[in-house]
Each structure stands twice: as structure tokens, then as C-alpha cells.
Amino acid sequence: MKWDYSGESGPEHWVQLEQDSECDGLHQSPINIIDVETSPGNFLGKIDEMIYEDETTIRSITNNGHTIQYNFDGDLNTMEYEGKKFKMIQFHFHALSEHTINGVRYPLEIHLVHHCEETDSYIVLALLVQQGEPDPTFTFLDNYLPIQVGETLEINESYNLGSKVSDIFGMDSVDVFTYEGSLTTPPCTQDVLWIVVKNASSASPAQIEALQTLMPKNNYRDTQEINDRDIHHEKMRELF
């Protein structure tokens, strides 16, 4: 049986559905981040370089039945972490958000997935989105919608990821939360550094709805136990 977000194949059954998954591990994601319980951290200090190009290519868009995913040629957009190269291979959406901050769940969460081939580990940058002013980036992304379940559109069009990332991180200082967790979908692999941006960006209700209606209702996993982990707060500023 294929995993899903509700019913008999919902999150509480993932560990039975996916052989050898880590969905019952002790360092799972997402989590509820309680601001006052975080401590200063230094994961970002281990990032030597972040490069997001102005001219990058969206290779394709997929509706895999769990999310809408924009796939990239990963070589251009990279993060170097402890001497290892992590390539930004795709971003995708969850509605409502997976991470909650002080118990608050947002309408949308974007995951920019960076993968290191050498170590098969991940760094995921999580952006929370609240309802507000329309975001031109979303308008651009929405141009390719709708896309139906099981469909993949070959796009091969230029996308200015660099300007989007610098919109988010170009400010004087950007507060983020960092912690070690897992992929939030089976096999729930536990080799993921999470960087969750504290302040939500905004998109219009129509923009949020355009994505929401194409994805399973509530395609988020419930927040997981923190167990023995420390959740940190840091500033992104040092990198730019």
C-alpha cells in the first residue's frame, strides 16, 4: 500500500508500510519550535559557501500525489557544508505547514531540498508562508499550474532563484532555527539538517489556494517528539 496523509496509509502507519524506514526514529521531523526553549547554535558557521544563481533552470514540475515539486538542475545552486557540496535539487510545498512555531501552524511551508551525493545527507531550508500581499515569485511559479496527479511537465525554463533567496536572506539579519531531524515523508531518513526561517514570507490567498487545491488536503506530518535534541537559534547574516 502506498503511503498517504490520512486513513489506513496515514502517518501513524508509515513505519509498517515502508520497510526499513526510520519513521519511528527518535530524531524525526517536523517539530513544534518553542522560541524561548531554543539555545544559540552554530550549524551555519559550518557553511562555507552558499551560491544561488540568477540564471538557473527549472527542469520539470511533478505532481507526485503527495506534493507539487519543482525540479532543478542541481549543479548551479549549492551549499558547501563542512567541505561537502550540497546541491539544491528541488523544492516542494506543504499545506498547512509542517513545522509550527510556538504552536502556530502557517498556511504553507516550502522545502528547498539540498542533497549531498557523497554522504547521501540533506540540508533542507524551510520557509513558512502566511497570507498577505501577493508574491511575484509565486505568480511566476503558478504560471505552470494546474498539474494533475501523476503528471510531469518538462519545463527547462530559466528561473532566478538567486533573487528569491536574496529577498529572504539579503536583509541585515535573518533569524533561523536549526536542528537535526529527518525527511518528513517515508523513508523519514534521519540525516537532515533543518534550517527553518523564523519570519514567515507572504503570498496572497489565491496564490496559496492555487497550490493547495492540487495537493492532498493537509499534506503535512504531525509534529514529532524532540527527545534528546537541542533546537537552536542562529542568524543567517554571516553568510552574505
- Rule CB under 5 A: which of 100-129 touch Zn ion? 111
Nearest distance from C-beta of residue 92 to Zn ion, angstroms: 6
Q: Which of 90, 137 has the CB closer to Zn ion?
A: 90
Q: Are 226 and 155 in contact (CB under 8 A)?
A: no
Over the window 30 to 69, marking each residue x when it contacts Zn ion by CB under 5 A and - when it does not, the resulting string is ----------------------------------------
The site for Zn ion, by CB under 5 A, has a size of 1
Q: Which of 111, 232 has the CB closer to Zn ion?
A: 111
Q: Which of 85, 111 has the CB closer to Zn ion?
A: 111
Task: Please write down the HEC assignment for all residues of the chain.
Answer: CCCCCCHHHCHHHHHHHCCCCCCCCCCCCCCEECHHHCEECCCHHHEEEEECCCCEEEEEEEECCCCEEEEECCCCCEEEECCEEEEEEEEEEECCCCCEECCEECCEEEEEEEEECCCCEEEEEEEEEEECCCCHHHHHHHCCCCCCCCCEEEEEEEECHHHHHHHHHCCCCCEEEEEEECCCCCCCCCCEEEEEECCCEEECHHHHHHHHCCCCCCCCCCCCCCCCCCCEEEECHHHC
Query: What residue is closest to Zn ion based on CB?
Result: 111
Q: Which of 45, 74 has the CB closer to Zn ion?
A: 74
Nearest distance from C-beta of residue 39 to Zn ion, angstroms: 25
Distance between CA atoms of residues 223 and 238, nearest Å: 30
Q: Which of 180, 235 has the CB closer to Zn ion?
A: 180
Q: Which of 207, 219 has the CB closer to Zn ion?
A: 219
Nearest distance from C-beta of residue 111 to Zn ion, angstroms: 4
Nearest distance from C-beta of residue 168 to Zn ion, angstroms: 17
Nearest distance from C-beta of residue 209 to Zn ion, angstroms: 19
Nearest distance from C-beta of residue 75 to Zn ion, angstroms: 22
Q: Which residues of the chain form contacts with Zn ion (CB under 5 A)?
A: 111
